[in-house]
Amino acid sequence: MSDLPSPVTDADFARFCEFLYRRTGMLFTPAKRYFVDRRLAERMRATESRSFAVYLARLRADRDGEVEALINAFTINETYFYREDHQLRCLTTALLPELVAGKPPGATVRIWSMPCSTGEEPYSVAMWLLENWPEVDSYDIEIVGSDIDTRALASAEEGLYGERALMRLGPDLVARYFGREDTRLGPAWRILADLRDSVRFTSCNLTDATTMALQGRFDVVFCRNVLIYFDEASRRIAADNLFDALLPGGFVCLGHTESMSRISPLFRVCRYDDAIVYRRPREGEHV
């Protein structure tokens, strides 16, 4: 195969994974060699690096923003609207009623989709609130979507989706929140401008306390299907950062295969009819 400009040795692979791990918290073992090699080859070709050593030097110097391009190539952006909607149901039937009980009318409610990939999740939250939360007009709802992948964020801001992303939405919801467009690649659906304006997008790294702190504190954080890509140490850092990103009494929702209890002792496990979520203890409350 002429996939790689020059062969990447096991030692190169190890050095590269070490670099990626330190920058993103994502840990790739030799079992993921094929996945890593393909993306690495893609970046080496794109930067016309003749050898791995040349590419690594470019990466270390972050020439032409190569670190960002590399991160973009390694993030996985497979998602769709209303994914794991039992958690969205939990948001409107349990979490928000509990949260706003302690707030005056008109107060701010901050919801964070982190990572938000190409925007399906934060837009789903906005749509779900409009459809299912009778108090949607009573609070100043701020929805923020963040990701480490700047290419995904640009796509989220554009808000143009293919049929697959909409597969869980009924035709009435699609008609209400999207406008159909015919593109070169076939039909696509653009999110309504008002819905797009209801979400603010920012770039952020879950394992970097500084970029996390810049986002402020939230009432609810959706952090789904990302910790599975981290090793134990990164998971713990991410959990600490998530804890700091929550207001006291705020909730974090993980993917259904993930459990915070196995990662961090800081959170209280809350079992609701529709989902298990994790709460930062309120002031003066013990875990």
Partner 1 sequence: MSETPLRPLDAPRVLVVDDASLVRMYYRGVLEKAGFAVDEALNGIEGLERVLLAPYDLLVVDVNMPKMDGFSFLRAVRGREPPIRSIPALMTSTEAGDDDREAAREAGANFYLVKPLPEDVLTAHARALAGRRP
222 vs 267, which CB is nearer to partner 1?
A: 222
**163 makes contact with partner 1 (CB under 8 A):** no
Q: What distance in Å separates the CA atoms of residue 241 and residue 2, rounded to the nearest whole number?
A: 42
173 vs 209, which CB is nearer to partner 1?
A: 173
82 vs 278, which CB is nearer to partner 1?
A: 82
Environment class of 127 (CB within 10 Å of its CB; exposed 0-12, middle 13-18, buried 19+): buried
What backbone phi and psi angles, to 5 degrees, belong to 68? -65, -45
| 3-state DSSP of 186-238 | EEEEEECHHHHHCEEEEECCCCCHHHHHCCCCEEEEEECCCHHHECHHHHHHH
Q: Which stretch binds partner 1 (CB under 8 A): 35-43, 45-53, 171-179, 275-283?
A: 171-179
**141 makes contact with partner 1 (CB under 8 A):** yes
* Cβ 141 to partner 1 shortest distance, Å: 6
* Cβ 121 to partner 1 shortest distance, Å: 16
**215 makes contact with partner 1 (CB under 8 A):** no
Q: Which stretch binds partner 1 (CB under 8 A): 3-11, 70-78, 83-91, 123-131?
A: 123-131
CB-based contacts of 49, cutoff 8 Å, min separation 6? 5, 43, 55, 58
CB-based contacts of 182, cutoff 8 Å, min separation 6? 188
* Cβ 185 to partner 1 shortest distance, Å: 20
Q: What distance in Å separates the CA atoms of residue 266 and residue 250, rounded to the nearest whole number?
A: 12
**182 makes contact with partner 1 (CB under 8 A):** no
Q: DSSP character for 26?
A: B
* Cβ 195 to partner 1 shortest distance, Å: 7
115 vs 122, which CB is nearer to partner 1?
A: 122
Q: What distance in Å separates the CA atoms of residue 12 and residue 33, rounded to the nearest whole number?
A: 11
Task: Provide the binding-site residues for partner 1, judged by CB under 8 A.
Answer: 104-106, 126, 129-130, 134-141, 175-176, 179-180, 192, 194-195, 197-198
